Amino acid sequence: MRLYVTFCLAIIGVFAADIQKSAPISSQRCFQPLERKIQELVEVRHTGIYPTAAIKRTMSKSTSTQKLQLQKAIAFGNSYCERYRIRTADVKPIAKPVSTKLNFWSNTCPSYTRYYYFPRAVRYGGQTCWVLSNWYNLRCKQTACIYRSCSGVYTFWPWMTACRHTSYKAHYYYIWCPRFGLVRRYVRLPQCCSCMKLLCRPWVQPISKAG
């Protein structure tokens, strides 16, 4: 068994050396692909009363398809999100083994819970718009990775590992604007943090040398 492991390590070493000869790391750089940035909704200060009557009038003029989409979005939000009174800090649990029986198993990409908040009024299209009452004071859970690199996972060039947000869930919501009426928008929130194996070669770029 020990001889077999030694043989495998020797093969891997030869393979890595061949790759480095054809594409020396000293003259090239590996760039990780950028992740999608989630744009948080920023609450704006507003004056006046919430336009309940105007929103109801607009909803009454909507088509049957638009009304059905609105009902589905409301049901989805009530199922996967929760009401809040005050904003709270992110939930960051202490990393612990996945299994209490097998302590040598550990989470390669530990994560924590963040919240996506829906405020009462937002800025959209150069004007103040109102989030429908079904969503404001609502917050939806999303997962955030604690580390960028996988813990305890090792690879050889040209492969690399990284913790990435996965299992995105689309949340549709509606806002009402004085000029636009009802506007259907959505945000995609990650639900998992996974250790991904990436091939560096597509992102290899030569480093320019000073003349």
The torsion defined by the Cα of 15, 19, 24 and 29, in degrees rounded to 10, comes to: -110
Band (pLDDT 50/70/90 cuts) for residue 177 is very high
Per-residue pLDDT for 104 more than 70? Answer: no
Contacts 24+ apart (CB under 8 A), 199-202: 199/158, 199/159, 200/30, 200/157, 200/158, 200/159, 200/160, 201/23, 201/158
Pairing of strands 138-145, 28-30: unpaired
Per-residue pLDDT for 118 more than 70? Answer: yes
Q: Of 143, 164, 165, nearest to 80 (Cα)? A: 143
> Where in the chain are the domains?
41-205
Per-residue pLDDT for 53 more than 90? Answer: yes
- Kind plus residue range of the DSSP H or E element containing 67: helix 64-80
Instruction: Find which of 20-24, 37-41, 101-105 is predicted with most confidence, using mean pLDDT.
Output: 37-41
Per-residue pLDDT for 5 more than 50? Answer: no
Q: Quick check: 176 and 58 in contact, CB under 8 A?
A: yes
Q: Which residues have a Cβ under 8 Å from the Cβ of 158 and sit 6 or more positions away?
A: 19, 23, 30, 199, 200, 201, 204
pTM: 0.66
Tell me what the mean pLDDT of segment 183-193 comes to.
91
Q: How far apart are alpha carbons 121 and 115 in whole angstroms?
A: 18
Q: How far apart are alpha carbons 93 and 112 in whole angstroms?
A: 6
Per-residue pLDDT for 204 more than 50? Answer: no
Tell me what the mean pLDDT of segment 156-185 comes to.
88
Per-residue pLDDT for 18 more than 50? Answer: no
Q: Of 120, 116, 130, nearest to 171 (Cα)? A: 116
Band (pLDDT 50/70/90 cuts) for residue 34 is low
pLDDT of residue 56: 92
